[in-house]
Amino acid sequence: MAHVLSLLKKKRSASVLVITLIYALYKAKSHFQSQAGSNGTQASSHSSRNASNSTKRHKRGKVGVNSTFFKQMRELLPICIPGVFTKEAGLLAGLATVLIARTWLDIWFSAFNGSVVKAIVSRNKEQFIAKAIVEFGFMMWPMSIVNNSLKLTISALALCFRERLTKFAHNQYLDGITFYKISNLDNRLQNADQLLTQDIDKFSENLSHLYSDIAKPIVDIFLFAYKLGEAIGNEAPFAMISYFVLSGVILRSFSPPFGRYTAVEQKLEGDFRFTHSRIITHSEEIAFYGGGEREKEVVNNTFQKIVNHVRKVYTLRFLNGIFDSVLVKYCATMTAYYLLARPVFDPRYATDNMGSITDDPTKLMEDYSRNCMFKIYPPFSPSYLINLSQAVGRLILTGRDLTRFAGYTSRVAELFEVLSDVSKGKYNRTMVSSEKETTQSKVVDSKDMKGKVIIKDGVIVFDNVPIVTPNSDILLKDLSFKVSTGMNCLISGPNGCGKSSLFRILGDLWPLFGGTVTKPAASKLFYVPQKPYLALGTFRDQVIYPDTATQAKVRGFDDDELMKLLDTVHLGYLVEREGGWDAIQDWADVLSGGEKQRVAMARLFYHRPQFAILDECTSAVSVDIEAIMYEHARKVGITLFTVSHRTSLVRHHEYLLRFDGEGHYEFRELDPEDIATPFGFGHGKTRQQSPSKKLDQ
Ligand SMILES: Nc1ncnc2c1ncn2[C@@H]1O[C@H](COP(=O)(O)OP(=O)(O)OP(=O)(O)O)[C@@H](O)[C@H]1O
């Protein structure tokens, strides 16, 4: 009686332990779900752009193995495996062959091990040598080759998938100016760089494993269930599989949404990476300001968010893992012991391969070891039951890992969706209303724009064109002016009034909401910014960017011709100083501010467009060199639009386009008075406009 009571007590404490564990898992899951949600929101709250990301995530709902996941996979798989006669399809076929070979070797090994155990138990030395030395010595080669071929094929497949996806993404991202639009007009993606580098890689890696993680267990389940059925009766594999299916269902309903946590983690990693890349990009400015401490605070805060998130995920994985192991491993082992021992203890269930009453002990040992004994040679297991359990267990764990994979899938699919939308001219943007302090997501489709573009040489005409920012703020309601070849135009106005925005519309960077723009083809317009972009490559590449050396040669520019361009901007000394045309340096660091601006002017003379937009691009150049460059531009027939506040530039221009920053502008001929008071407002016709308003108000 006392024994029964103590057993009952033990059972009760075991049940209490299990209930406590399930409760802890449930609490941790719900606590963490709310944390993960706020994490995503917190990480997203530092800008309106990020706010949209979190809104988007909420709208998209749970990241997991659901209909969205399968839809995303249907879109991504044809990119990874574009056809039957491709390298990827070949590798998949190869992988299937290797997987079948692996299963065959597992079956061979189970039978082989039984024979070795029998040889030992019956003290049969000849049989032992024939099996353990000769047969195994021969078979170890195919085992080793098959195992390593499996790893090789999976790695090759992952690389092929990554290559396909990355090249596909690059083709869209770097097609035209999609890369600009993704970060300036659409704000669904925050870290395109991370998506293109890390997330595609992780997705490819997981996808390549997925095939073997699903295909191999399925093949194994059928084969080993058949073999085990032969050995200990057909109900045994059926009972085992039913048990696993049931435990899989229980696990699925209790498992936290690891897929969503993976997506949040990737986003936090992207934010962290971004804070570091900003420090590298702006190192000089930060150093001058002595901003190290401030930046440290920012990067540490961003990093802390990752640490908190990952720590919580690990905790949850720990609790989930305990529950998993008990259910999938240990309870399964108990069930397996029971099924295996049944033919031995109950003659009704005995078969020729296990538990027959006439069996001698060595035969029983051989049968037992073949059917059950635990794994001794990873990764080959000598037992049907272990192989079967492992196959089902692997399938269940793959199902669980699928949620993590769904996280990567959702990020990569979102990248491709945004790339496709943006390249078709569809932007999704969160508008921030300062008056109502609200954010609102808005879809803009370039096809709905009423603006018209006419391509024509020798003239730039803006006819009632509104200057509207991507945030739908109207800087100017309708702008009209006409500049023909040879008529340089000076543009002035206070900061933020829309001078550069005008050129963004002219250069097709921003959509044209209305009116008509007449301009030459894009190749006949050239933009020179205040901070010139210096490319990776040789010194020659800086002058001819974005052409290549071969294209420059085709255009008739050898190094002597390029030297003449450099002499025009008084930079001839640079070639020798920097070690020749083929020298490769970090040009943004090596050249001074004025030198960079003069290299950009040499680049302008190399391209010799019909019209050039000079956006404060000579601010660091002395007035005399500036004059030489302007005269040269006129000599070679480049008509200039100059944004500048320098009075010295007035004499190089015929027209003035001036904004007052309150929605008004004037366009008129420059007259001698302007040299003294250059940008006096009101000499000519002034267009009155209401100040900045939202487009749809
Ligand atoms: N990508 C963008 N998204 C939303 N608004 C923008 C974007 N780029 C610029 N703006 C807004 O458009 C307005 C005009 O900017 P723009 O760069 O044209 O000014 P600017 O006249 O060239 O100023 P500055 O003389 O300082 O260079 C500013 O209020 C700016 O905040």
Ligand 1: which residue has its CA nearest to atom 12? 469
What would the mean pLDDT of 54-62 be, rounded to a whole number?
A: 46
Mean pLDDT of 212-234: 77
Asked if residue 358 has its Cβ within 6 Å of ligand 1, the reply is no
Query: What single-letter amino acid sits at 260?
Result: R
Share of the chain above pLDDT 90, in %: 36
How would residue 372 be classed by pLDDT, with cut points 50, 70 and 90? low
Residue whose Cα lies nearest atom 19 of ligand 1: it is: 496
Question: What are the domain boundaries of the chain?
Answer: 82-166+188-403, 449-530+610-619+639-694
Distance 509 CA to ligand 1 centre (A): 13
Phi, psi of 517 (to 5 degrees): -115, 125
pLDDT band, very low/low/confident/very high, at 383 (cuts 50, 70, 90): low
Place of tokens 């023909």: 484
The predicted structure's pLDDT at residue 620: 86
The reply to whether ligand 1 has any atom less than 6 angstroms from the CB of 528 is: no
Enter the DSSP assignment of 581: T
**Cα–Cα distance, 256 to 400 (Å, whole number):** 10
What is the CB neighbour count within 10 angstroms for residue 231? 24
Mutation test residue for ligand 1: of 439, 475, 501, the one with most atoms within 8 Å of CB:
501
Question: What average pLDDT does range 90-115 have in this prediction?
Answer: 86
Query: Nearest residue CA, atom 16 of ligand 1?
Result: 498
Nearest C-alpha neighbor of 178 from the set 415, 533, 422:
422
Residue 640 and residue 488 in contact, taking contact as beta carbons nearer than 8 Å? yes
Identify the band that residue 439 occupies on the pLDDT scale cut at 50, 70 and 90. Answer: low
Q: How far is the CA of 442 from the centre of ligand 1 (A)?
A: 20
Give me the amino acid identity at 113.
Answer: N
Per-residue model confidence (pLDDT) at position 428: 84
- Judged on CB neighbours under 10 Å (0-12, 13-18, 19+), 455 is exposed
pLDDT at 257: 81
Choose among 57, 345, 434, 389: nearest CA to 221. 389
Q: Report the candidate in 469, 477, 481 with the shortest Cα–Cα distance to residue 514.
A: 477
- Class of the domain covering 449-530+610-619+639-694: alpha beta
d(CA 376, CA 371): 14
User: How far is ligand 1, taken at its centre, from the CA of residue 179, in Å?
Assistant: 19
The C-alpha atoms of residue 694 and residue 435 are separated, in whole angstroms, by 11
What's the CA gap between 388 and 222, in Å, rounded? 9
Helix (H) / strand (E) element for 170: namely helix 136-173
495 lines ligand 1 (CB under 6 A): yes
Task: Give pLDDT tens digits for 248-260.
Answer: 778 777 778 887 8
From the CB of 500, is ligand 1 less than 6 Å away? yes
- Per residue in 545-569, pLDDT (tens digit) is 999 999 999 999 999 999 999 999 9
Just give the CATH number of 82-166+188-403: 1.20.1560.10
Torsion over CA of 521, 524, 525 and 528, rounded to 10 degrees? 150
**How high is the pLDDT of residue 7?**
43
Q: Which helix (H) or strand (E) holds 252?
A: helix 235-254
pLDDT at 108: 85
- Ligand 1 atom at shortest distance from the alpha carbon of 494: 25
DSSP 472-505: -EEEEEEEEEEEETT--EEEE-STTSSHHHHHHH
CA of 600 to the centre of ligand 1 (A): 22
The band of 436, judged by pLDDT with boundaries at 50, 70 and 90, is low
- Above 70 in pLDDT, residue 283? yes
> How far does the centroid of ligand 1 lie from the alpha carbon of residue 184, in Å?
11
Nearest to 621 by CA among 629, 611, 612, 609: 629
Which residue has a Cα nearest atom 20 of ligand 1? 496
CB neighbours of residue 142 within 10 Å: 14
Q: Please give the mean pLDDT across all residues of the chain.
A: 80
Local confidence band at 684 (pLDDT 50, 70, 90 cut-offs): very low
Say yes or no: CB of residue 183 within 6 Å of ligand 1: no
- Residue 52 pLDDT more than 70? no
- ipTM attached to this prediction: 0.95
Q: Does the beta carbon of 233 sit less than 6 angstroms from any atom of ligand 1?
A: no
CA of 663 from ligand 1 middle (Å) equals 14
Give the residue whose CA is nearest to atom 1 of ligand 1: 184
Tens-place pLDDT, residues 133-169: 898 889 989 999 998 999 999 999 999 999 999 999 9
pLDDT single digits (tens) 606-632: 999 999 999 988 888 888 899 999 999
Task: Give the per-residue pLDDT at 685.
Answer: 43
Quote the pLDDT of residue 8. 42
In this prediction, residue 672 carries a pLDDT of: 67
> In 10 A of CB 431, how many CB atoms?
20
Cβ(580)–Cβ(539) below 8 Å: yes
Give the pLDDT band (50/70/90) at residue 348.
confident
Question: What's the CA angle centered on 151, arms 145 and 156, to 5 degrees?
Answer: 115
371 pLDDT exceeds 50? yes
Atom 17, ligand 1: residue with shortest CA distance:
500
Mean pLDDT of 287-299: 87
pLDDT, position 223:
77
Of residues 231, 537, 538, the one with CA closest to residue 370: 231
pLDDT score at 1: 41
Q: Average pLDDT for residues 99-128, to the nearest whole number?
A: 83
Query: Cα separation of 353 and 343, whole Å?
Result: 10
The residue whose CA is least distant from atom 25 of ligand 1 is: 495
678: pLDDT strictly greater than 70: no
For residue 185, give the ligand 1 atom closest to its CA. Answer: 1
Q: What is the pLDDT of residue 118?
A: 81
Q: What is the pLDDT of residue 611?
A: 96
Quick one: how many helices (H) and strands (E) in the chain? 25, 14
Ligand 1 contact via 498 beta carbon (within 6 Å):
yes
For residue 340, pLDDT over 60 is answered with yes
Residue whose CA is at the smallest distance from ligand 1 atom 3: 470
Ligand 1 pocket: which of 430, 431, 469, 504 to mutate (most atoms within 8 A of CB): 469
Q: Which of 52-56, 187-191, 447-451 has the highest mean pLDDT?
A: 187-191
pLDDT confidence tier of residue 349, bands split at 50, 70 and 90: confident
Q: Is the CB of 41 under 6 A from ligand 1?
A: no
Q: Give the closest residue to 225 by CA, choosing from 113, 394, 390, 369.
A: 390
Question: Which of 546, 550, 540, 543 is closest to 581 using CA atoms?
Answer: 540
What distance in Å separates the CA atoms of residue 377 and residue 225, rounded to the nearest whole number?
Answer: 21
Reported pTM = 0.72
Would you state the pLDDT for residue 433? 56
Can 82-166+188-403 and 449-530+610-619+639-694 be said to share one CATH topology? no
Q: Looking at the predicted structure, is the pLDDT value of residue 232 above 80?
A: no
